[in-house]
């Protein structure tokens, strides 16, 4: 079966996000009242698999994220 997958990877709470800090500061300088801006990564792909949840979880642990510093979530939808 074919699946559409979206994985979002972000730094775990409490870890420094320098890119988010810089973008947040720039937005505040432009007059926007933003706080605690964080910059996640989003991966979107199609996957041919009989066990998509298992494979996506393995992908996250092995390559898309570092389990020591990242948290991730994903959604999987069947492609007709």
Residue 28, pLDDT score:
98
The dotted CATH code for 2-78 is: 3.30.1280.10
Residue 37, pLDDT score:
95
User: Domain locations in the chain?
Assistant: 2-78
- Only one residue has tokens 């989003």, namely 42
Burial of 36 (0-12, 13-18, 19+ CB in 10 A): exposed
Residue 80, pLDDT score:
82
Tens of pLDDT along 45-58?
999 999 999 999 99
Residue 59, pLDDT score:
98
Residues of the chain with pLDDT under 50: none
Q: Is the pTM higher than 0.85?
A: yes
What is d(CA 17, CA 66) in angstroms, rounded to the nearest whole number?
15
């Amino acid at each position: 079966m074919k699946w559409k997958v979206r994985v979002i990877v972000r730094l775990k709470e409490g870890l420094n996000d320098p890119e988010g800090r810089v973008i947040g500061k720039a937005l505040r300088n432009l007059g926007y009242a933003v706080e605690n801006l964080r910059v996640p990564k989003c991966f979107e792909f199609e996957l041919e698999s009989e066990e998509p949840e298992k494979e996506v979880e393995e992908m996250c642990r092995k390559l898309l994220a570092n389990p020591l510093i990242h948290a991730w979530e994903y959604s999987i939808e069947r492609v007709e």
